[in-house]
């Protein structure tokens, strides 16, 4: 499956409606972004069960700001609509593969429990 261009109109729906979504925040003038692009594309071809989205931070400045992107490329991974990974920098193919495997292997019941505990902690402090 090829990568999908995500915009402020399609980002949330894509993340919520798919089990696993990897998002590459990039810009055409960014050298490391151009180096990472073929690695990301190759992974998209290998993992048909994962949605690979790309956000052009120049065209989608409000979306990049909402995602708090301060450095590109930045890779984000969502599972069941929950952000489970975010890291700036171009990853080599092997490291990207490790991220994909780790995201697929997550125990989402445990992730949701941890999030609930964090939110409970946030409301009781203050």
**3-class SS of residue 124:** helix
Active site residue 30: yes
**3-class SS of residue 88:** strand
Which residue of the set 6, 22, 30, 44 is catalytic? 30
Which residue of the set 23, 33, 50, 77 is catalytic? 33
* Backbone conformation region of residue 120, classed left if phi is above 0, alpha if psi is from -120 to 50, else beta: alpha
CA distance 43 to 93: 8
Active site residue 5: no
Active site residues: 30, 33
């Amino acid at each position: 499956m090829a990568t999908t261009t995500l915009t402020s109109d399609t980002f949330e729906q894509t993340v919520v409606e798919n089990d696993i979504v990897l998002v590459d925040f990039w810009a055409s003038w960014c050298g490391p972004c151009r180096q990472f692009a073929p690695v990301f594309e190759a992974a998209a071809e290998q993992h048909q069960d994962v949605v690979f989205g790309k956000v052009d931070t120049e065209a989608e400045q409000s979306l990049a700001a909402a995602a708090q992107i301060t450095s590109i490329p930045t890779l984000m991974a969502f599972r069941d609509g929950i952000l489970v990974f975010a890291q700036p920098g171009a990853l080599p193919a092997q490291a990207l593969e490790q991220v994909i495997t780790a995201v697929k292997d997550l125990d989402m019941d445990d992730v949701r429990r941890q999030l609930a505990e964090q939110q409970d902690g946030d409301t009781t402090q203050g």
